[in-house]
A and B are shown apart, each in its own frame.
Chain A
Amino acid sequence: QKEVEQDPGPLSVPEGAIVSLNCTYSNSAFQYFMWYRQYSRKGPELLMYTYSSGNKEDGRFTAQVDKSSKYISLFIRDSQPSDSATYLCAMSSGGYQKVTFGTGTKLQVIP
């Protein structure tokens, strides 16, 4: 079993839809959770960075962490074609510890 599981998609949604992206993990020591967006042939771009459980909102993006279920989510409201990319979840047990990545979910927002 992989430490971090992420559905690779692809996920296709119409413009304006709410997108829900998810990851599950098995390592209960993970405390720091990140979401990255990666466009084709580019490096990952940090979207959200959260610590422990709870919600964090930044513009159209909301990150949720449920440590009891070992489940994290990223919600994108009012999705735009420019949101079409691969979204990677990532997590670590400490600020200086190794970061473990999911395989990424490919999202396509259709105009």
Chain B
Amino acid sequence: GAVVSQHPSRVICKSGTSVKIECRSLDFQATTMFWYRQFPKQSLMLMATSNEGSKATYEQGVEKDKFLINHASLTLSTLTVTSAHPEDSSFYICSARGAGDPSPLHFGNGTRLTVT
């Protein structure tokens, strides 16, 4: 149980284009989803928290107009990297937390974004 599916696993795009990453909770309803960015040999950096049906909460230093997050249903959240630049190249990982306390985070398999 508690499977989180993330697509695509890898994407290469040209500078200036936009890329959408999907995160789905397959067997549970995710009241909250989180988007992380991970640099080599570094910890997971929380970018934003999204709750179903409301606006995402962004961490300090994360541009909300660049990283658009939509959490339209209890099983789907999307992250759109707009006008991507090479410095946006990174490993993006989503996670989902179900209802009930305690409820740990379950992660997708990540998306490797390369902007050329």
Contacts and interface: CB of A to CB of B under 8 A. Distances in A.
B103 A95 contact: yes
A99 to B, nearest CB: 6
Task: Classify the interface of chain A: helix, strand, loop or mixed.
Answer: loop
Interface string A20-41: 0000000000001010100001
Contact of B93 (A34, A44, A95): A44
A34 B110 contact: no
B40 to A, nearest CB: 11
Interface stretch (A54-62, A68-76, A100-108): A100-108
B42 interface: yes
Contact of A36 (B32, B100, B107, B108): B107
A42 B109 contact: yes
Size category, B interface:
20 to 34
Interface string A87-99: 0101000111011
Size category, A interface:
20 to 34
A9 to B, nearest CB: 10
A16 to B, nearest CB: 28
Interface string B27-51: 0000010100000011110100100
B105 A90 contact: yes
Nearest to A99: B105
Which 5 A-B pairs have CB atoms at the shortest separation, nearest pair first? Answer: A95-B101, A43-B107, A95-B102, A103-B43, A43-B109
Interface of A: 8, 32, 34, 36, 41-46, 49, 51, 88, 90, 94-96, 98-99, 101-104
